[in-house]
Copies of this chain bind each other. A is one copy, B any other.
């Protein structure tokens, strides 16, 4: 394991085919599954850890975003990463960042209206990581489904040679999708949040039984969640353009955002290929390494 601080150092240390796993640190098994996927496809696995100010729409969210580099390096090493690229702010933004990468249309729906500037910040920092590290493959979780679509389109639109790989969501044994933000949930909020994955699984069951109406799939989630959480949206959207779909007639995902107290959670189910096979994610058999996620 090697910790690098600059792009040049990271490129020099990256031999053979390179798999990049971009993260903001504070790892959980979702991130570790990205390393596993990268390990299988790459000679050198680079995990970047950088809390990117550009993608936070709220300052308080940036300030309270959890950080623990020492623990992260241990976890990344055990999972098979070769390099942890943990740049200081001065390496990523040595001067005022005038350049922005914007992916129009794909940023407009779902998370877009609720998080102004967020995807511009994501697209810009991922463009930097891809341009600066030049990986053969980059691995992103399907949990951030819209982010994955945007990054994929950005890389294609900018003629970047590397491949963008989406990796299934990792869930706790009881269904809660792993997220660094889960540490903020009280025991009661965490219990209520389980309704989100239950609703998505119910929708996946319906789709498996032939249901193709987006409104029926969304209703399954709303019914399960009820009044226990404040739901921002439940939307069926295309995997390529994040366009809201009335009907499940192409590769898509059913995505939601909801508030459990002060904590905003997102989750989704992907429907793949012509048969709309549901990717429900994978489940841990043991409790997550993530701190403070309450009893399960």
Taking beta carbons and an 8 Å cutoff, which residues of A are in contact with B? 7-8, 11, 92, 95, 97-106, 123-124, 127-132, 134, 153-154, 156-161
Contacts and interface: CB of A to CB of B under 8 A. Distances in A.
Nearest to A133: B159
A62 to B, nearest CB: 20
A100 B102 contact: yes
A102 B123 CA distance: 12
A112 to B, nearest CB: 13
Contacts of A154: 99
Contacts of A157: 97-99, 128
A266 to B, nearest CB: 22
B98 A101 contact: no
A277 B99 CA distance: 30
Given A127-B158, A131-B159, 5 more contacts: A7-B161, A98-B103, A99-B157, A102-B102, A132-B161
A159 B7 contact: yes
Contacts of A98: 103-106, 153, 157
Greatest chain B CB density within 10 A among A100, A123, A128 is at A100
B99 A102 contact: yes
A98 B103 CA distance: 5
A134 B130 CA distance: 12
A127 to B, nearest CB: 6
Contact of A100 (B11, B95, B104, B160): B104
Contact of A160 (B104, B131, B156): B131
A128 B105 CA distance: 19
B128 A99 contact: no
A252 to B, nearest CB: 18
Contacts of A134: 134, 161
B128 A159 contact: yes
Given A8-B161, A159-B7, A101 B103 contact: no
A159 B161 CA distance: 16
A62 B150 CA distance: 30
B158 A99 contact: yes
22 contacts: A7-B161, A8-B161, A11-B161, A97-B157, A98-B105, A98-B106, A98-B157, A99-B102, A99-B104, A99-B157, A100-B101, A100-B102, A101-B101, A101-B102, A102-B102, A124-B158, A127-B127, A128-B159, A131-B160, A131-B161, A132-B158, A134-B161
